[in-house]
Structure 1
Amino acid sequence: MKYPLIVGLSIVFVDVVVWRAQIPPHDLVRLFIRLALFAVLSWVLFSSGMNPFGQAPYRDAAALHWLAQVLEIVWWLMAARLFTLSLDSLLLPRAWRKQRLFSDVFGAVVFLAAVVAALAFVLELPVRGLVATSGALAIVLGLAIQSTLSDVFAGIVLNATEPYTVGDWVVIDDVEGKVVEMNWRATHLLTGQGNTLIVPNAMTSKAKISNNSRPANVHGLSLVLEIDPEARPKTVIDALERALTGSNAILKTPAPYARMQRATLNSIHYEVVGFVDDMSKKRVTSNELFDLCYRHLAASGVSLRALGVPAPAIEAHDAKEALLKRVSLFESLSADEVSQLAKRLSRHEYPADQQILAPDTVPDSLAIIYAGVLSVTFRESSGVRELARIGPGEAFGEAGLLAGLPMHVSITALTPSVLFEIGKDDMTSFLKEHPEVAKQLCQLLAYRQDKIVKLTTALPAEQEQGHSLFEWLFGKVRNIHSLYDS
């Protein structure tokens, strides 16, 4: 072959361009192209007498000789790099490829072996003396970087045992985060505050590791509540179990549970445990569950106890008034108005699985949940879909009672429930005595338009004859309850 050095160097140049420019973009296709280029380079070298296992020819021409030596050394380095890439892409598991630690360590060993081989075969240097010298140097270097070496070997153990992989949510020594990178030195965690925490592998290998991503679709959450020791345990447990039922984000399997955990001088600790199918739901569901626990405990006459603080003096409150104050619809009412409205409430009890409101009906009363859990469902072409679960302190039927709008949902008691209701006649009488309250309720209904549209007949989004949505609602309330200016 004419000009084998030019052909060989040209092949090396093309390989560098393919490597650096990442042409083509697909890793596996690019690897096969580079392997083909290496095969062609090997054929050029061996067919031209430039055997990488010996010194290069052209000894009578110093420039050509050293250029051929460089080409043979490059051949060894290309062989080492392509060998590690082939092992990484074709043989290693996907999880190992993401973590990179094994590839980096193995690549370093292969490159070291390639450099020693090039020195021995191409340059014909005394490798035994070099190895002996490098061994002593390695001892000194090892003592200097022993902490780094411990991280490397700990990383190898972590990769082999795989207590977690990239993408898992883990807790390492009480630090929780998502694994975003694993390398030869450390594990990188993305914490809930959006910060990157770097944990050295040596420290990780000695720490307690909790992998929240295994099993894949079950993630536990736990709340510990301090309750008044005078409260009957069965009352507390029943209320907490109703709170667990009130969240449709909590899985039925494994079954959630509530239990008494321990007793202290001033309180009893109760634990509520549930499970969700996605880590991203844990925070939202925990907050929702705490709110449900608070409301169901309050409905059962049980109050939370401040940590380590004796119970405050108990003040007597009317249960109906306390319930009305927890309803957002009546937040704007004064204490006297709340007291008058509370006298008009009637108590109703419903067993589990009883339908309280049928779809496409206009409620003739406003219902406020005092105790229990209700399921709100909507029938679609694909079947029945649960929209929400509602519990103590929540109300429904206000759009029907105030504006005569039908509700397209079905509401059923999931647990034995107690509701306080106010009928149309009582509401009409109350609004006639307090006409300003009608305006406040209509303002709130107009503000909650998005929720009303989902549960009832859509309200007119366009203004009619220059009237706003509030004015339209207020007109409906005046007509239904006969509120006319005197």
Structure 2
Amino acid sequence: MTYVFNPTYQLLVLASAFAAVHLLASGRTFIFASHTILFAALTAVLVSHGIEPYQTTAQAPGGLWVKLFYGAAKATWWIGGALMLVSSVRLFLIFEGRPREGRLVQDLLAGLIYTGAALSIVAYVFNVPVGTLIATSGVIAVILGLALQSTLSDVFSGVALNLGRPYSVGDWIILDTGVQGRVVETNWRATHLLNGTNDLVVIPNSTLAKSQLVNQSSPDETHGVTLTVRVITSRSPTQIQQVFSTILLGGRHTLREPAPLVTMGEMDGQSIGVELAFRVADAGQIITAKNEMLDLIFRHLKAEGLALATSVPNLGVPLNITSIGSAAADPSDQHDAIRDVPLFAALTENELNLLTQGVTRKTYARGTEIIHQGEKSGALMVVTRGVVIVEKELGNSRIELNRLSPGDFFGERGLLMGAEEPGFIRALSQVSVLEITSEDLSKILHARPDLADDLGATLAARLDAEAEYGVATPSMRRPLTIAHRIRHLFQL
């Protein structure tokens, strides 16, 4: 067979194109298509000129440069084929639509492909028996294996974890050592977690493979939360259970399905245990939901005149009855109910007396529409008991905007801005409210004008929360703008 080595420039162009695509291109589909086209062109050029890179042939005729070119051409073909196969693995080998989680398997196959290409070059370019080479390299492999024992343990543990899939990128896991966090990356040697304080925790795969772990994101993202408190038995267990059922209604981070549960626990002569069980959307909301629920327990128990009971176990110390709030807390006391509102917490006794002179109490049965969507409220209403929900009607469905518990208020936008309510305000349980008229609020605002800024900030925060539903426009959500309108309305 006569070899004509005139495709030199074509091979140089194709080899350069392979290198450019491999180093500079982005996008797996583009890289795979480019590698496939270049490999096909390279094969056509070599075969058309009598060069068969996949055959073991005798030494090429010609001088030294011709022999070097012949070997380089065949080696380029094998490298190009390996690049094409690896790019196909990167493109098509994806587990459940999550390419990052299949990275270890992709890398393993890519390593096998490159190893095969290297052995093929040794066999078909240099005409060296591959079997002898593998046998000779066995001793070296043993030495390297002993030297890299820890690293290899991490590597194979990573492969086992990836194939077993006890967790995925994005899952929140807890180890038996107490370490917990969200999985952000898995690689050959370690798994990276982002913990609750936003710190990166790097755990070797061998350590992770030996650990007991809890996947809080499997089989779904929702996570169960339980809280246990003890309440003095100043009322019947049924009444106490109803109070805690109302408390669960007020949780804004609590899922409604499955429904939260109240379980009454052990009871003695002075107290009874109550366990609250509810679910949140994902493990990242556990802390927020717990904090919210503890705050709701405090507010509702105070509103109902109930108290927590504490005890010191195993020491024979009697129960210590701890009242929530002041010892003389009375749920019917309008003065204390107004002070429980953070907005009015800094008012003096004289200012509180001035504010409560015209206050009236109203009670609404469960399911009552207190204010309709689009209606302008003429009073500021402070919730003293129960839970109120704000829902916006869109077509045939309603979207929840907010939930209010004792200490919260509503009706402020109609009173302070002359604006309509964004949704229906409805009683989720039996609800008691205190109505503060415009005249009574005006007296306090003139005595303490800085309350206008606090009211503006509160209303702006609510408008921000409602903005995602298209309820509020950006111009309405500026605290200083709202405060200015309040000052202008009340002539402060």
Q: Contact 2:383–2:405 at 8 Å: present in 1 too?
A: yes
State how 1:212-227 maps to structure 2 within 5 Å.
212-216=216-220, 218-227=221-230
Q: What root-mean-square deviation, in Å, do the aligned CA atoms of Structure 1 and Structure 2 show?
A: 4.1
Q: Deviation at 1:412?
A: 2.0
Once the two structures are superposed, residues 180-235 of structure 1 have per-residue CA deviations (whole angstroms, 9 ceiling, x without a partner) of 2222222222233332222222222232333333344x512525243345565544
Distance 1:386 1:2 in 2: 76
Deviation at 1:283, TM superposition (A): 4.9
Give me the TM-score of the superposition, normalised by structure 1. Answer: 0.79
Q: Deviations over 1:409-453 (max 9, x none)?
A: 54321112233456789x49x95xx89647566565455553798
Q: 1:451 to 1:18 in 2, by over 3 A?
A: closer
Shift of 1:339: 5.9
Moved more, 6-15 or 401-410: 401-410
User: How has the CA–CA distance of structure 1 residues 415 and 9 changed in structure 2, closer, same or farther, with 3 Å as cutoff?
Assistant: same
**What corresponds to 1:259 in structure 2?**
263
Structure 1, unaligned runs of 5 or more: 477-486
Aligned with residue 383 of structure 2, among 358, 369, 372: 369
> Residue 305 of structure 2: which of 288, 301, 307 is its match?
301
Instruction: Provide Cα deviations, 1:373-395, integer angstroms capped at 9, x if missing partner.
Output: 11223456676543322111123
Deviation at 1:372, TM superposition (A): 0.9
Q: Per-residue CA shift, 1:323-353, capped at 9, x if unaligned? A: 2221134323223554676687655433211
Assess, with a 3 A threshold, how the Cα gap between structure 1 residues 339 and 54 changes in structure 2: closer, same or farther.
same
Aligned partners of 2:5, 2:322: CA distance in 1, in Å? Answer: 103
Deviation at residue 396 of structure 1 after TM alignment: 3.4
Q: Which residue of 2 aligns with 1:472?
A: 488
Q: Answer yes or no: is 1:450 the counterpart of 2:460.
A: yes
Given candidates 406, 424, 448, the residue that maps to 1:392 is 406
In the other structure, the counterpart of 2:190 is: 186
Asked if the contact 1:347–1:420 (Cα under 8 Å) also holds between the matched residues in 2, the reply is yes
What is the CA–CA distance in structure 1 between the aligned matches of 2:460 and 2:400, rounded to whole Å? 18
Amino acid aligned to 1:190: L
Give the conservation status (yes or no) of the 8 Å contact 1:188–1:196: yes
How far apart, in 2, do the equivalents of 1:403 and 1:277 lie?
A: 35
**Sequence identity (%):** 29
Say if 1:375 and 1:236 are closer, same or farther in 2 by CA, change over 3 A: same
* Residue in structure 2 matched with residue 70 of structure 1 by the alignment: 72
Secondary structure, aligned partner of 2:320: coil
CA shift digits 1:125-173 (9 cap, x unpaired) = 2433322222222223222222222222222222222222223333344
Q: Secondary structure at the match of 1:184?
A: coil
Question: 2:137 is matched by which residue type in structure 1?
Answer: S
Q: Which residue of 1 aligns with 2:22?
A: 19
Contact 2:309 2:320 in 1 (8 A): yes
Q: 2:171 maps to which residue?
A: 168
1:138 counterpart = 2:160: no
2:246 to 231, 235, 242: 242
The answer to whether the 8 A contact 1:142-1:149 is kept is yes
How many correspondences in the alignment? 462
d(CA) in 1 for partners of 2:263 and 2:128? 75
Q: Find the aligned partners of 1:278 and 1:312 in 2 and give their Cα distance.
A: 36
Aligned equivalents of 2:7, 2:139: Cα separation in 1: 41
**Aligned residue among 109, 112, 117 for 2:115:** 112
Show the counterpart of 1:51.
52
What is the rounded CA distance, in whole Å, between the counterparts of 2:344 and 2:430 in structure 1? 25
TM-score (normalizing by structure 2): 0.78
Displacement, 1:101? 0.4
CA distance in 1, matches of 2:217, 2:322: 45
Is the contact between residue 310 and residue 322 of structure 2 (CA under 8 Å) also seen in structure 1? Answer: no
